[in-house]
Amino acid sequence: MTDVRTADVRTDDTAAETQREPDFSSSYTGSLPILLRALASSVLMTSYQSSRVLVVRSDGDRIDTDLKVFPRPMGLAVRPDRLVLGIWAQVLDYRRNDAALEVGVGDPLRDACFMPRASHVSGMINIHDIAWGRGGLWAVNSMFSCLCTFGPDASFVPRWQPHFISELVPEDRCHLNGLAMRDELPAYVTTFCRSDRANAWREGGAFDGTLMDVAENRIVVGDLCMPHSPRWHRGEVYFCESGRGLVRAWNPDTGTCRTVVELPGFTRGLAFAGPLMFVGLSQARVSRIMQPPPIAEHETESGLRVIDLDTGEVVAGLRFEGDVAQIYDVALLPGSRYPEIVEWDDERVGNVYRF
């Protein structure tokens, strides 16, 4: 990245998690605050490894990263007045309530406030991507290898499973992880493999991940290396082939798959604003996968890249310099350049009302 600047960092975490304070420092291109100002938006990212939701916001000249503590934050579903977050064993529902900005002392630049409204206890289903659609909130239930919705009388309601999954048991058989919606219905998903055995994807080596058509319950692209984050955009399914550091696009009309961009990281998390594509990057990590993915042979970083799909150029970016090594999801929050997300232990949860 060129024209690199250092971001301001804010955190409400007062207790040191280790013997030293975590390092959440980052740098960014000078184009990023200008871009977010033009979009009248901010960027939300989840980092399960850091137990943080990262709110990337701008006053038009500088980037501020506001850090909020959550246990294992994963998928995000965002609207201008609402956001839903999947965490360890729960789904958290936030609503915009700007009246809370008038309570207490806070940053005067704040232009939106999201307050906790509800929580659903799902159990540890290893929730990944989430999205709104017909039937409410849809989620990737990786533990049970299915797509599900939620209701008040159950941990989750199973709605779909890959054709090669024979039973719903908590064994994470194929590492179903990504979900793309189209016309308010689940349209495409990604898996790490096509196995029907407990945790078979952790055996590694084969890299036989898939992009699947949900309605037809069939594999449309195979032999992928750790795919994530499918998204329907401009007539194609964009997705991350994370283990190779790629973003790819599959055209359902032609059946062809092309590489959109190659980036210096484990690509995961996609969001779009017209011709702009926001891509999350993670460092290649040592894990229980027996064979490391090809991207591990290269120097990798964690952060964000913004790609102009019309030109293929990287137009903005942010890089985490310290302890934030893993990004899971990326979402664009429209209508707010400088939002605040109120944590559940904030005193305003007890004294700000809505009726």
Domain boundaries, the chain: 4-12+24-351
CATH, domain range 4-12+24-351: 2.120.10.30
Find all residues with CB under 8 Å of 101, minimum gap 6, and list them: 110, 112, 113, 340
- CA 202 to CA 128: how far, in whole Å? 17
pTM exceeds 0.85, yes or no: yes
Closest C-alpha among 220, 223, 253 to residue 241: 223
Residue with tokens 């040191």, as numbered in its chain:
16
- CA 75 to CA 328: how far, in whole Å? 7
Q: How far is CA 350 from CA 13, 67, 340, 347, in A?
A: 19, 21, 17, 6
Q: What is the pLDDT of residues 16-53, one digit of tens each?
A: 444 678 899 999 999 999 999 999 999 999 999 999 99
What is residue 204's predicted lDDT score, i.e. its pLDDT?
Answer: 65
Sheet with 112-121, strands from edge to edge, namely 76-79, 82-87, 90-96, 112-121, 339-341
Q: What is the pLDDT of residues 175-215, one digit of tens each?
A: 999 999 999 999 999 999 999 999 988 886 679 999 999 99
